[in-house]
Amino acid sequence: MSFQGQKSILLNDAPYEISRGALTRYWQKSTEEPTQRGFFGACAYYFSQTFSNLLSMPIGSSIFVFTVTVLFFFLGSFLLCLQNLSSVLSRGGESNSLIAYIKTDVSESDMNLLLSGLDSDPNITKVDYISREEALELFKEDLGEGHSFLKALDEDNPLPASVEIFFEKDETGLNSTEDRINAMANRVEVDEVIRGGSWSNRLSGLIKFIKMVGIIGLGITFLIVGFLANNSIRLLMNKAKDEREILNLLGASKSYVNIPFVLGGALQGFFGTVLGLGILAFLYYQFVEGYSFSKELPFLNLQLEFLEVSTLFLLLILGTLIAAMGSYIATSQYGDRHLI
Amino acid sequence: MTNTRSDIIKLIGVSKIFPPDDAALKDIEFSIAQGEFIFLAGRSGSGKSTLLKLLYGSETATDGSVIVGGRDLSNVATPVIARLRRSVGLVFRDTKFIPGASVVENVALALEVVGVATEDRLDAAGEILKAFGLEDKLYLNPASLSSEEKQRVGLARALVGKPKIILADDPSGSLDKGSRKAIFDILAEAHSCGVTVVVATSDVEIVEEVNQRTIVLESGKMIGDFAQPA
Ligand SMILES: Nc1ncnc2c1ncn2[C@@H]1O[C@H](COP(=O)(O)OP(=O)(O)OP(=O)(O)O)[C@@H](O)[C@H]1O
Ligand SMILES: [Mg+2]
């Protein structure tokens, strides 16, 4: 069997619109390798592809960016309040103390033992013992003499003795005060323990709660951002279905086809975060900074500060990364028919 | 066909069953030498497109081996298939283009995925489009072209990277007789440049006119392998 070549393939009836031999000339022309675009060329490709993807759905993309903006505006505001609240509270907390109420049936010698033990503790700066009698005197002073029912109290004093214990200023946090309270409460002589000293210490539970809410808020924000990025990118991929298929059939790898979409999500997350925090910063420096609140809250001695640069950066990186992750998940979940 | 030519495509006992039990191909076995021009002929639904999909790795065989360029596609990783596709030009009945991009950009896309720099790929795309008589359509939107012009652009995109194989699935299915000829002229010239050309068609007329080796499928079975007459 002989291979006759192209002659018999060509159809018989002219006219030809295409000049035959042109493809052959193209084929034979240059054998040298074409220039490769290199790393920066590839980056330029990915970015231009990313932008054209985003611009193919301007409204959808804007909605996502705007949502991230709103979320990060609120998250930033929340963190701003939290940061200033806890700085106010820690400034207010000059001393740490607790008040232990002593059971009424504790003998004087047991009480002395307890007090001398507390005195020898190096972390304790001061111990104020208030006996039952002193407590009653103080109570009377508070109310003013002359009340008839106070006479009844003289006969049967209902007030417990108490010890107020002052600790070294605790720089490490609020936990150790908690530990001390628990340690005191566990002693047999002690009936009940409350936080003493300045009001800020009593708020430490509140701070803890706010911090927890902050962390939960952070988590929820990131979940929403990731979820929205996932959805937004899915829509974009669906819009670019044909294009993805074409590229893939031309031999583009999956990552080549998908990188612009992950990048798109990351960019949207980035812009949303920048906008949200930017608007917050603008409003803060425009309206809040320098305002002392001395009229409204004279006891606070507020010195407001904006979020630290490192916090802002962290939020920016996290916002971008979470959006990228949501998009990456979208690309790996999205089922293209011909995509390999 | 002589023994010195190596087989670029080889199918051994290939079956494709679509779930649950739709046997699109049954026990297909043939090989194609490098530089051959071959028709896959058969009626609609006979399995031609499915067979081509196996060849470019869009479907995997349920049974048997599909060997393209020396690699058994049933057990290669997807990056290998992606690389294989860069040396295979694909043409379809309704070739798809990126609507936002011009004709020349669409053709250049084939070089873009292999990382060719912008200027070089636009040059090459312009050149091959010129060879196909489309020099005044370079900057048009592909959607504005006639069916024949679209197919020529599709062929330009398939050939711009000088592939070893062209797989054409019913490339003239949407064309009239004159346009059909223009498309087969290009395929013939590609063949003469050494490209292995596999064309699936249900058009008996074109098979007779072009007169090359023809494998006939019927209900997923190979019922004939007619060599090109001497
Ligand atoms: N993805 C799929 N899922 C299920 N069945 C399929 C799938 N693709 C093809 N088939 C079946 O496989 C058989 C062969 O289809 P195929 O598309 O290969 O035929 P064809 O020869 O290309 O037909 P045509 O000339 O109309 O293009 C048909 O019965 C079809 O229904
Ligand atoms: Mg088909």
ipTM: 0.90
Predicted local distance difference test score (pLDDT) of residue A2? 36
Q: Are strands B165-169 and A96-102 parallel, antiparallel or unpaired?
A: unpaired
Residues framing ligand 1 (Cβ under 6 A):
B 18, 22, 24, 42, 44-50, 170, 202
Predicted local distance difference test score (pLDDT) of residue B186? 92
**B 30-49 residues with CB < 8 A to A:** 35, 37
Predicted local distance difference test score (pLDDT) of residue A94? 46
| DSSP-assigned states of every residue in A6-71 | TTTTS-S----SSPTTHHHHHHHH--SPPPB-HHHHHHHHHHHHHHHHHHHSHHHHHHHHHHHHHH
CA of A229 to the centre of ligand 1 (A): 37
- Asked if A130 and A220 count as a contact pair (C-beta separation under 8 A), the reply is no
Q: Do B58 and A253 touch (CB under 8 A)?
A: no
The pLDDT profile of chain A, 340 residues, written as one tens digit per residue, is 333 444 445 554 444 455 578 888 888 886 667 778 888 888 888 898 898 888 888 898 899 999 999 999 999 998 888 888 777 766 554 456 778 888 888 888 888 888 888 888 877 888 888 888 888 888 777 776 666 777 777 777 888 888 888 877 655 555 566 677 788 888 888 888 877 655 555 566 777 787 788 888 889 989 999 999 999 999 999 888 888 999 999 999 888 899 999 999 999 999 999 999 999 999 998 887 766 666 665 555 566 788 889 989 999 999 999 999 999 999 988 766 556 5
- Asked if B227 and B66 count as a contact pair (C-beta separation under 8 A), the reply is no
Residue nearest atom 14 of ligand 1, based on CA coordinates: B47
Which of B25, B48, B51, B204 is the pocket-test mutation for ligand 1 (most atoms within 8 Å of CB)?
Answer: B48
Predicted local distance difference test score (pLDDT) of residue A259? 93
**Three-state secondary-structure class, residue B166:** strand
List b or e across A217-233, with b for residues whose CB sees 16 or more CB atoms inside 10 angstroms: beeebbeebbebbbebb
List b or e across A62-101, with b for residues whose CB sees 16 or more CB atoms inside 10 angstroms: eebbebbbebbbebbbbbbebbbbbebbbeebebbbbbbb
Predicted local distance difference test score (pLDDT) of residue A295? 61
Please give the biggest Cα pair distance in chain B. 50
CA of B49 to the centre of ligand 1 (A): 7
Q: Does A40 touch chain B (CB under 8 A)?
A: no
Q: Which ligand number lies closest to the CA of residue B24?
A: 1
Using a CB-CB cut-off of 8 Å, the residues of chain B touching A21 are: 189
Compare B6 and B109 and report the one with higher pLDDT.
Answer: B109
Q: Among A310-314, B177-181, B192-196, name the one with the lowest average pLDDT.
A: B177-181
* Mean model confidence pLDDT for chain B: 91
Predicted local distance difference test score (pLDDT) of residue A14? 43
Q: Which ligand number lies closest to the CA of residue B168?
A: 2
Q: Across-strand partners of B199?
A: B39, B168
Between the alpha carbon of residue A76 and those of residues A72, A161, A243, A316, B159, the distances in Å are 6, 47, 39, 11, 55
How many angstroms away from the CA of A277 is the closest CA of chain B?
Answer: 35
Predicted local distance difference test score (pLDDT) of residue A301? 57
Among the partner residues B121, B162, B185, nearest to A27 by beta-carbon distance? B162
Residue labelled with tokens 């400034």: A91
- Asked if B152 and B134 count as a contact pair (C-beta separation under 8 A), the reply is yes
> What's the token pair of residue B37?
């021009």
Q: Do A249 and B79 touch (CB under 8 A)?
A: no
Q: Do B212 and A9 touch (CB under 8 A)?
A: yes
Average pLDDT (B113-139) is 91
Predicted local distance difference test score (pLDDT) of residue A276? 96
How many angstroms away from the CA of B182 is the closest CA of chain A?
Answer: 7
CA of B219 to the centre of ligand 2 (A): 12
Mutate: best of A1, A13, A18, partner B, most B CBs <10 A: A18
Q: Are strands B221-226 and A124-130 parallel, antiparallel or unpaired?
A: unpaired
